[in-house]
Amino acid sequence: MTQYASAHLITRIAYLGYDPADDPNWPLSGAPSHAAYSKWCRHICGIACLRMALLHRSDDAPSLFTLLAGARRYGAYVQQDDEIKGLIYAPFARYVEDTHQMAATVHGHLDPADLLALLDEGRMVMTSVSREIRRPGLDPERRGGHLVLAIGHDNGGSSTAIPAAIPPRPVKRAFPSTGSPTSSAIAASASTCAAPDRLSLPRLPPSSR
């Protein structure tokens, strides 16, 4: 599961400058037009996380752009001129609970140890990491900025639904550091947080097919 129409293009998009708007499979995303896909596809990693969680629950989920439309109605994204701000967690959590009946908790502060504790409780955690999550041997250029769904861990590392396995040290490097500026995607009511919020979801057993 990815925010882009073609999973095999992710490495080229993330690291090699490939324009995702050139993906011929864009209609598979559920986008109403090529222009809409081009505009939004780089901003919906959190929507992809939600779709993964919904598929885990019932093996069925709306398309990425159907979920995006719902999240936008709740104010989880804000457009200012040509700039898109989001994902904004507080309204997104309300959307998840109201529309999809899945409990969602926003965590104002969450360090790697807290993340592992939530995973031990059986929660799925949507968290912001560096795009270097796929290349854990490298020092990240920045911390945070890309949302992934963490679903478990192994001896202090973390497993995400990408799939990707992140050893303990890169997990710490990929997280936004304590005291860093609050992400622009965080709602104003959370603007005093020391670091970007995380969102945890219940980890429910898949329904019987």
Q: Which residue has the higher pLDDT, 127 or 178?
A: 127
167-177 residue pLDDT tens: 343 333 333 43
Model pLDDT, residue 26: 95
* Residue 181 clears pLDDT 50, i.e. is over it: no
Buried (b) or exposed (e) across 19-40, using 16+ Cβ within 10 A? ebeebeebeebbbeeeeebbeb
Q: Which pair of tokens denotes residue 144? A: 């945070």
Q: Which residue has the higher pLDDT, 196 or 39?
A: 39
The fraction of the chain above a pLDDT of 90, given in percent, is 33
Q: Which domains, and CATH codes, for the chain?
A: 7-202 (3.90.70.10)
Model pLDDT, residue 63: 95
Question: Mean pLDDT across the stretch 35-45?
Answer: 93
Tokens 């995607």, located at residue: 185
143-167 residue pLDDT tens: 556 788 888 777 655 444 443 333 3
Model pLDDT, residue 134: 59
* Residue 182 clears pLDDT 80, i.e. is over it: no
Residue 50: pLDDT band by 50, 70, 90 thresholds?
Answer: very high
- Return the amino acid letter for 186: I
Q: Is the pTM of this model over 0.85?
A: no
For residue 201, cis peptide bond before it (omega within 30 degrees of 0): no
